[in-house]
Amino acid sequence: QVQLQQSGAELVKPGSSVKISCKASGYTFTSYDMHWIKQQPGNGLEWIGWIYPGNGNTKYNQKFNGKATLTADKSSSTAYMQLSSLTSEDSAVYFCARSWRYGGYCFDYWGQGVMVTVSS
Amino acid sequence: DIVMTQSPTSMSISVGDRVTMNCKASQNVGSNVDWYQQKTGQSPKLLIYKASNRYTGVPDRFTGSGSGTDFTFTISNMQAEDLAVYYCMQSNSYPPTFGGGTKLELK
pLDDT per residue over B15-54, tens digit each? Answer: 999 999 999 999 999 999 999 999 999 999 999 999 999 9
Q: Return all residues near A29 (Cβ < 8 A) that are at least 6 apart.
A: A53, A72, A74, A77
The string of pLDDT tens digits covering residues A85-117 is 999 999 999 999 999 999 899 999 999 999 999
Smallest Cα distance from A106 to chain B, Å: 6
Residue B99 contacts by C-beta under 8 Å, 6 or more apart in sequence? A44, B4, B5, B6, B23, B87, B88, B89
**Mean pLDDT over residues A30-39, rounded?**
98
Give me the mean pLDDT over the B66-95 stretch: 97
**Do the Cβ atoms of B95 and A95 come within 8 Å?**
no
Residue A78: Cβ within 10 Å count: 20
pLDDT band at residue A36 using 50, 70 and 90 as cut-offs: very high
User: Is the pLDDT assigned to residue B89 strictly greater than 90?
Assistant: yes
Per-chain mean pLDDT for chain A: 97
Give the closest of A102, A107, A111 to B50, CB-based: A102
Chain B CB contacts of A92 below 8 Å = none
- Chain B environment of A46 (Cβ under 8 Å): 98
Is the model's pLDDT at B103 over the cut of 80?
Answer: yes
User: Cα–Cα distance between A35 and A64 in angstroms, integer?
Assistant: 13
- Percent of all residues in chain A with a pLDDT value above 70, rounded to a whole number: 100
Distance of CA B23 to the CA centre of its chain: 7
pLDDT band, very low/low/confident/very high, at B94 (cuts 50, 70, 90): very high
Nearest chain B residue to A49 by CA: give it.
Answer: B95
B98 to A111: CB separation less than 8 angstroms, yes or no: no
Q: B105 and chain A: CB distance < 8 Å anywhere? A: no
Region A62-84: mean pLDDT is 97
Angle CA B47–A68–A72, to nearest 5 = 75
Chain-chain contact of B100 with A47 (C-beta, under 8 angstroms): no
A53 touches chain B (CB under 8 A): no
> Is the minimum CB–CB distance between B97 and chain A shorter than 8 Å?
yes
Q: How distant is the Cα of B96 from the closest Cα of chain A, in angstroms?
A: 6
Predicted confidence at residue A41, as pLDDT, reads: 81
Is B52 part of the contact surface with chain A (CB cutoff 8 Å)? Answer: no
Strand partners, B53: B49
So what's the pLDDT on residue A50?
98
Please compute the mean of the pLDDT values over residues B55-75 and round it to a whole number: 98
Separation in Å, CA of A39 to nearest CA in chain B: 10
How high is the pLDDT of residue B59?
98
Q: Do A104 and B46 touch (CB under 8 A)?
A: no
Query: Does A59 lie at the interface with B, CB-CB under 8 angstroms?
Result: yes
- Do residues B16 and B78 make contact, with C-beta atoms less than 8 angstroms apart? yes
DSSP three-state, residue A90: helix
Confidence grade of residue A43 (pLDDT, cut at 50, 70, 90): confident
Q: What angle do CA A112, B5, A34 make, to 5 degrees?
A: 30
